[in-house]
């Protein structure tokens, strides 16, 4: 009787270990970054399908969660100057992650909404700007449903040769189809497709170069995964 009880619990424990290993194996085993969280955002990994806010890149610092060519958050530094910290805007928005190097600002009345946009960003939308060649950001995401997804973004200016990688493997080129004429003239476009064949945690790496302001990536489910997913 004791033998069968032992085998029962041993089998359950081994199954738990296998499932845990399987889920973790979808992330690179040596990855030390952690999903972003602060006092207001506490949800953990951003979910797919859904919106991946690009300002919510992982915690972990230079060379782990991101690579930026300058040590200063250019957006936060600018927002400390006259007229850039707009009335009624919280410190969190104006100086978002100011002690890190990724350059982040927010959509402002006099810069982003004082002219017609083909598609407006949200008021106070956080975005990555001041982009330089070879920069990247990492995102631990939770894929809720395997499948093929189209990727939609709101962006300003022109194509910057961006690409998306899944678990450190190239997944798709992200093509910004229209030159809007300025970093603060915004539009929306479907910029690529990607396949997730398994649910659970994945590491997304957004690699980008000079040329655009990027706000977020919307992952919209369009079909079953098939056999060629990541």
Cβ atoms of 35 and 140 closer than 8 Å: yes
* Count of C-beta atoms within a 10 Å radius of residue 31: 16
Q: What is the pLDDT of residue 230?
A: 54
Question: Strand pairing of 126-128 and 200-208?
Answer: unpaired
* Count of C-beta atoms within a 10 Å radius of residue 164: 21
Q: Which residues contact 31 (CB under 8 A, 6 or more apart)?
A: 64, 138, 203
DSSP secondary structure string for all residues of 104-134: EEE--HHHHSSS--SSPPPTT-EEE-S--TT
pLDDT tens across the length of the chain (230 residues)? 544 444 454 444 444 333 333 344 489 999 999 999 999 999 999 999 999 999 999 999 999 999 999 999 999 999 999 899 999 999 999 999 999 999 999 999 999 999 999 999 999 999 999 999 999 999 999 999 999 999 999 999 999 999 999 999 999 999 999 999 999 999 999 999 999 999 999 999 999 999 999 999 999 999 987 745 45
Q: Does domain 32-223 correspond to CATH entry 3.30.450.40? A: no
Cβ atoms of 59 and 65 closer than 8 Å: yes
């Amino acid at each position: 009787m004791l033998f069968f009880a032992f085998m029962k619990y041993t089998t359950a424990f081994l199954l738990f270990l296998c499932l845990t290993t399987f889920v973790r194996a979808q992330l690179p085993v040596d990855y030390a970054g952690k999903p972003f969280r602060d006092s207001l955002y506490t949800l953990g990994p951003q979910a797919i399908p859904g919106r991946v806010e690009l300002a919510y890149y992982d915690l972990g610092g230079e060379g782990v969660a991101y690579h930026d060519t300058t040590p200063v958050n250019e957006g936060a530094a600018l927002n400390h100057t006259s007229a850039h910290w707009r009335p009624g805007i919280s410190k969190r928005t104006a100086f978002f992650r100011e002690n890190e190097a990724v350059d982040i600002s927010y959509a402002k009345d006099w810069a982003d909404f004082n002219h017609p946009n083909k598609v407006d960003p949200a008021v106070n939308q956080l975005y990555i700007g001041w982009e330089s060649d070879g920069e990247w950001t990492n995102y631990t995401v939770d894929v809720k449903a395997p499948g093929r997804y189209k990727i939609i973004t709101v962006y300003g200016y022109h194509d910057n040769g961006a690409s998306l990688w899944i678990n450190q493997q190239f997944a798709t080129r992200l093509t910004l189809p229209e030159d809007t004429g300025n970093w603060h003239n915004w539009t929306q476009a479907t910029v690529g497709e990607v396949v997730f064949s398994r649910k659970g945690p994945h590491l997304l790496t957004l690699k980008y170069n000079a040329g655009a302001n990027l706000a977020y990536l919307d992952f919209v489910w369009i079909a079953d995964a098939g056999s060629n997913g990541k």
